[in-house]
Amino acid sequence: MNRILRLLFIGSFTLLFLASCGENPSTYIMPTTMFTVNSYVSDNAVFQERENVIINGQSEEGALIKGTLKKDNRTIKEFSDVVDEKDEFMLSFTAPKASLDEYQITIDDGVHTLTINNIRFGSVWVITGEDFKIKTLTSEPTEEISPKISLYDGSKWTTNMFNQDEFSQFVLLYANKLAEKLSMPLGIISAVVDKAHIDSWLNPLTTEDNLRIKKFLTDTNRFIEIGDSYFENYDTMCSVYKQMIEPISNLSIKGIIWKQGISNLEDYLKNSGYAFKGVNYFRDYQYVLTQVFNDLYNVFGSDVDMFILQQGSSDHEYASLLREAQASATYLLKYTNVITTYGYEDDELLMNSIANAVYEYTYENHRDYLSPNYINSISGDDYIKIMFNNCSSLLIEEEYFGLKIYDQNGELIELEVVVEDNWLKVILPEPIEGEAAVKIKLIEYAQGADIDDSNLKNENGIGVVPFVIKFNIE
């Protein structure tokens, strides 16, 4: 009899212990209202493969929120969280490897259920910046949209790109070109605007803590005190960050495509009374741009790839200073690369070049489709050699348009130029008896406003990043 009582006692204690460790329904409230989740958790979503998927939401404190990932009605993963005192919860799970398979996510609070269909796992990219030729698409495309693509427009994911009130043709063309090269779903997060200054992408904390940025924005009449509803449109300090970047800050991504600068260039030209002059203005612009890149890395992770679409040909004076600032802002950032955009006959060729650069670098670890950058020069008695990265060889041309060489007197001179693999070799003339030897003061490339004729490229036809090399003349 005593043995039976002992067994009953042990069994009762074990059941109580197991109940305390598990999800005891009596300890959770049954919410009276439907929970909400991030807008990026919607039908047709693409999440980054093998990375953490985070679903934030709101409900009533004490409610148990359960999530289930299913494929073909088979449970793949289960995850849960209890709503905290701020009425918030966070569900998370590790995404499966990329495939064209479709999944389903079910979220349940014991009373209400949300089912999200057509979930896929692949590669996710953010496209952000300005001047992406935003237009309304009123007719069917000339080429079919890849079924691998899903677009997030800030409110939902969609696979029907032509039902958008306002859509960037750039996003469409780029996504299609990249999708052609990938064997996995492609999620594109469109965070583009028509026009906005660089400060629109700053994190508010950066503007508060950085005195140099604060002074630059104050001097250019861009600084404002941030309130709960401080922005009237996207072209306001920190507004793109708050409205487009911060809401997706918990999303894992593969990389970022960036294009911005024309608003700052036009602003400088219209306001010649700024305390800064020319290069000083763009030196500060470059500094702010670097901080924006750092803010983006802080949001999405320090190892995501970022590609900067450099300003191409322009009617605007000082366009070369903008290009220099864009390139210089990337030099100290490990995963940031410049892509030149000049010299293409149409947008489709440009999009294909950008997609090639992204695919080859990010997915194949090849650099030969990135834009070559000047990295070093050496001088001999009868030559100057200029070295470029991101190429095995430069293309040989009869004449290099856009390449200018100036002697010690500042005179533009013509000299023989030859290619030696990834070096450009400038042949110096033999000294003439009784005359001073020719010395080179400066070599520049693609420094005008219109640079579409500039033809210094690597073996894959990718234009060299514009550069200026100054030499010390003794």
| Within a domain: 201 | yes
Shared domain for 448 and 392, answered yes or no, is: yes
Shared domain for 345 and 210, answered yes or no, is: yes
Of the candidates 418, 425, 417, 337, the residue with the CA atom closest to the CA atom of residue 377 = 425
Among the candidates 363, 396, 425, a domain finishes at 363
Shared domain for 382 and 438, answered yes or no, is: yes
Shared domain for 261 and 392, answered yes or no, is: no
Shared domain for 138 and 284, answered yes or no, is: yes
Tokens of 337: 């690369």
Query: What local confidence, expressed as pLDDT, does residue 7 receive?
Result: 39
Mean pLDDT, rounded, of the chain? 88
Give the count of domains, the chain: 3
pLDDT band at 25 (very low <50, low <70, confident <90, very high): low
Query: What local confidence, expressed as pLDDT, does residue 152 receive?
Result: 94
pLDDT band at 19 (very low <50, low <70, confident <90, very high): very low
pTM of this structure: 0.90
Please give the average per-residue pLDDT across 97-111, as a whole number.
Answer: 97
Query: What local confidence, expressed as pLDDT, does residue 277 receive?
Result: 57
pLDDT score of 166 more than 90:
no
Phi-psi group of 234: left, alpha or beta (phi > 0 → left; psi -120 to 50 → alpha; rest → beta): alpha
Shared domain for 327 and 396, answered yes or no, is: no
What CATH code is carried by the domain that includes residue 435? 2.60.40
Q: Is 393 in contact with 446 (CB distance < 8 Å)?
A: no
pLDDT score of 14 more than 80:
no
| Within a domain: 14 | no
Shared domain for 100 and 153, answered yes or no, is: no
Query: What local confidence, expressed as pLDDT, does residue 276 receive?
Result: 56
Q: Is 102 in contact with 86 (CB distance < 8 Å)?
A: no
pLDDT 10s digits, 392-422 = 999 989 899 999 999 999 999 999 999 999 9
pLDDT score of 48 more than 70:
yes
What CATH code is carried by the domain that includes residue 353? 3.40.50.1110
pLDDT 10s digits, 416-462 = 999 999 999 999 998 887 777 889 999 999 999 999 999 999 999 99
Domain extent at residue 346: 127-363
Shared domain for 300 and 392, answered yes or no, is: no
Q: How far is CA 93 from CA 69, 78, 111, in A?
A: 9, 8, 23
Choice between 120 and 170, residue whose per-residue pLDDT is larger: 120
What percentage of the chain carries pLDDT values higher than 70?
87
Residues near 362 by beta carbon (within 8 Å), at least 6 away in sequence = 254, 255, 305
Shared domain for 62 and 132, answered yes or no, is: no
Tally Cβ neighbours within 10 Å of residue 295: 19
Among the candidates 343, 363, 383, a domain finishes at 363
| Within a domain: 170 | yes
Query: What local confidence, expressed as pLDDT, does residue 378 receive?
Result: 95
pLDDT band at 18 (very low <50, low <70, confident <90, very high): very low
Query: What local confidence, expressed as pLDDT, does residue 395 receive?
Result: 93
Query: What local confidence, expressed as pLDDT, does residue 9 receive?
Result: 44
pLDDT 10s digits, 273-332 = 465 555 688 999 999 999 999 999 999 999 999 999 999 999 888 899 999 999 999 988
pLDDT band at 17 (very low <50, low <70, confident <90, very high): very low
pLDDT score of 148 more than 70:
yes
In the 8-state DSSP scheme, what is residue 26? G
Query: What local confidence, expressed as pLDDT, does residue 171 receive?
Result: 85
What CATH code is carried by the domain that includes residue 74? 2.60.40.10
| Within a domain: 23 | no
| Within a domain: 29 | no
pLDDT 10s digits, 56-98 = 999 999 999 999 999 999 999 999 999 999 999 999 999 999 9
Shared domain for 271 and 392, answered yes or no, is: no
pLDDT 10s digits, 189-213 = 999 998 999 999 999 999 988 999 9
Shared domain for 265 and 404, answered yes or no, is: no
Residue 384, classified by CB atoms within 10 Å of its CB into exposed (0-12), middle (13-18) or buried (19+), is buried
| Within a domain: 10 | no
Shared domain for 384 and 340, answered yes or no, is: no
pLDDT band at 219 (very low <50, low <70, confident <90, very high): confident
Among the candidates 314, 332, 363, a domain finishes at 363
Please give the average per-residue pLDDT across 1-19, as a whole number.
Answer: 43
Torsion of CA 199, 205, 206, 209, to 10 degrees: 130
Of the candidates 71, 317, 42, 403, the residue with the CA atom closest to the CA atom of residue 187 = 42
CA atoms lying within 13 Å on the CB side of residue 438: 21
Is the sign of the CA dihedral 160, 162, 167, 170 positive or negative?
A: positive
| Within a domain: 425 | yes
- What are the start-end ranges of the H helices in 164-219? 169-181, 204-209, 211-219
